[in-house]
Amino acid sequence: MSEIRIDPGRIWTKTDHGVAELLYEIENNIMSIYHTSTPPEDRGRGIAKELTEKAFAFAKEHGFKIRPDCSYAKFFVENNSEYASYIVSE
């Protein structure tokens, strides 16, 4: 896996089989994570977790709360309670 990069609306990296990415939108200081994807051949290697950890670090650095809208982001939060304080309460 290459370096994880952050572009507006996208956190991504190149893998051996393509590109893994996390897509987000920011509105009113809330970062909505609405899509994560990893090439099928690269699944189970922790790449989505690394992208999501990078998203949480980015949110913390900029003072954003997070709304985990995609299924992987919800799974990540449910299985990593240390990130619960980042989640926006609605």
Q: What is the pLDDT of residues 23-69, one digit of tens each?
A: 999 999 999 999 999 999 999 999 999 999 999 999 999 999 999 99
* Residue 13 domain-assigned (yes or no): yes
* Contact criterion met (CB below 8 Å) for 53 and 61: no
Q: What's the domain count of the chain?
A: 1
Measured CA to CA, the distance from residue 16 to residue 40 in angstroms comes to 11
Residue 77: inside a domain: yes
Residue 88 lies in a domain: no
18 within some domain: yes
Q: What is the pTM of this model?
A: 0.93
Give the residue numbers spanning the domain of 77.
5-83
Q: Residue 11: inside a domain, yes or no?
A: yes
The DSSP string of the chain is: ----EEETTEEEEEETTEEEEEEEEEETTEEEEEEEE--GGGTTSSHHHHHHHHHHHHHHHHT-EEEE-SHHHHHHHHH-GGGGGGBPP-
What is the CATH number for 60?
A: 3.40.630.30
